[in-house]
Amino acid sequence: MSEAEQGPALAPEAAVLDALNATESNGTEALNATAKFVATPEGTALAYGSLVFMALLPIFFGALRSVSCSKSKNSADMPETITSRDAARFPIIASCTLFGLYLFFKVFSQEYINLLLSVYFFVLGILALSHTMSPLMCRVFPSSLPNKQYQLLFTQGSGDSKEEIVNYEFDTKNLVCLLISSVVGVWYLLKKHWIANNLFGLAFALNGVELLHLNNVSTGCILLGGLFVYDVFWVFGTNVMVTVAKSFEAPIKLVFPQDLLEKGLEASNFAMLGLGDIVIPGIFIALLLRFDVSLKKNSRTYFYSSFLAYIFGLGLTIFVMHTFKHAQPALLYLVPACVGFPVIVALFKGELTEMFRYEESSEEAEPKEDSSESDKKDQ
């Protein structure tokens, strides 16, 4: 929840996520700094408590869904694996993207840039929210209604040289999800309401935690360590992040009004938490859950320890921010907590080596080795 934050490792916009949590020194919204607003203790507690709760939802459910996602054979649900090389390069790419946006906002009109971004995130948000709702729709969709199958197919060429460009299969349930998501998208596009923003933001975060997989713990440490330095540098070393945060309008942060008790749903002074401070630690926590599953001990020790560590780190960020009245990079506190707690647990359990040797593909490789050995024995 740092007042400057980190983007998820999804797309170029992801690099900016760090910047989107900047607030005024008195805790008010940085994006609406036209007038200073002093929040009441009750309003502040409600806002930050709600942000913490919303941050935990995509991490918890995204991690659970990442377990089934890793076993899925459906190409649409296949995760994107982050290697150590990807992890090492990501802070550099994120920095270039962040600084590029900074220059864009300095050179070009903020209005036109945000218009393009609104349309871009309108499409992405609909797809992300539709994917998020899909499992729930499968459970609540009435069995009495027909669930017809559809296929969207685009090809290039003809005859033997025909090549598939798009081959997407979907059903009636997917169409219902898409329709509901489109309504939310139009609401966001027209009104930029904070609830619509949060629905898209939660969908982005959950999809990020579910579909972005670290291939091992070492890669996770490289990614978190690099973004730790990135976050601290761009928050404390320059004004780039804050400048982008004040200019950038997109649902890549969670917001909650501190004046909700006074103004209701029309409140406009927000506390913010960027998606990067959710997705980046979240994909590491999801990896530890899959490691727990691989141990086959019917225990979720590393998942729960890292999950509690995240709560502790986020709470510490809020405490320091309000104590010193200054924006804080959340990863400064989240990274040591989310990495340190599980490592300490592994040391006590004597599983540190096993944890760092864990590979996402190890379970798939073992059967292949067994089959080759059996072939040798048969020969």
E strands of 115-185, at which residues?
Answer: 149-156, 163-171
The residue annotated as part of the active site, out of 277, 292, 375, 378, is 277
Query: If you search the block for the tokens 């490592």, which residue do you land on?
Result: 343
DSSP structure class, residue 31 = T
Number of Cα atoms under 13 Å in the Cβ half of residue 306? 29
User: 212 forms bridges with which residues in the sheet?
Assistant: 80
Q: Is residue 35 part of a domain?
A: no
Token code pair at residue 27: 């805790």
If phi > 0 it is left, if psi is from -120 to 50 it is alpha, else beta; for residue 325 that is left
Token code pair at residue 82: 């982050």
Number of Cα atoms under 13 Å in the Cβ half of residue 261? 10
What is the total residue count of the chain? 379
Query: If you search the block for the tokens 């539709």, which residue do you land on?
Result: 130
Report the SS3 class of residue 167. Answer: strand
Q: Is residue 280 part of a domain?
A: yes
pLDDT of 15: 39
pLDDT of 1: 52
Residue 326: name the closest of 317, 334, 335 by CA: 317
Three-class secondary structure assignment of 68-123: HHHHCCCHHHCCEEECHHHHHHHHHHHHHHHHHHHHHHHHCCHHHHHHHHHHHHHH
Query: Which are the contacts of 204, defined by CB distance < 8 A and separation ≥ 6?
Result: 8, 10, 124, 125, 128, 251, 252, 275, 279
Give dist(CA 124, CA 367) in Å, integer.
38
Residue 343: name the closest of 224, 205, 215 by CA: 224
Q: Is residue 34 part of a domain?
A: no
Q: Please, what is the end-to-end C-alpha distance for the chain in angstroms?
A: 61
Instruction: Give pLDDT < 70 ranges for the chain.
Output: 1-37, 72-77, 361-379
Give dist(CA 35, CA 271) in Å, integer.
15
Q: Is residue 321 part of a domain?
A: yes
Give dist(CA 266, CA 367) in Å, integer.
58
pLDDT of 34: 40
Q: Is residue 364 part of a domain?
A: no
231 catalytic per annotation: yes
The residue annotated as part of the active site, out of 231, 292, 370, 375, is 231
**DSSP letter string over 299-314?**
--HHHHHHHHHHHHHH
Determine contact, residues 271/33, Cβ cutoff 8 Å. no
pLDDT of 178: 94
171 catalytic per annotation: no
Core vs surface per residue 274-300: b (16+ CB within 10 A) or e = bbbbbbbbbbbbbbbbbbbbeeeeeeb
Q: Is residue 363 part of a domain?
A: no
Q: Is residue 134 part of a domain?
A: yes
The β-bridge relationship of strands 270-274 and 163-171 is unpaired
Q: Is residue 368 part of a domain?
A: no
Q: Structural domain tally of the chain? A: 1
Token code pair at residue 12: 């170029």
Quick one: how many helices (H) and strands (E) in the chain? 13, 6
Q: For residue 79, which phi and psi values (nearest 5 degrees)?
A: -75, 160
Residue 185: name the closest of 200, 172, 174, 173 by CA: 200
Residue 220: name the closest of 330, 90, 351 by CA: 90
pLDDT of 36: 60
Give me the domain span that covers residue 277. Answer: 41-357
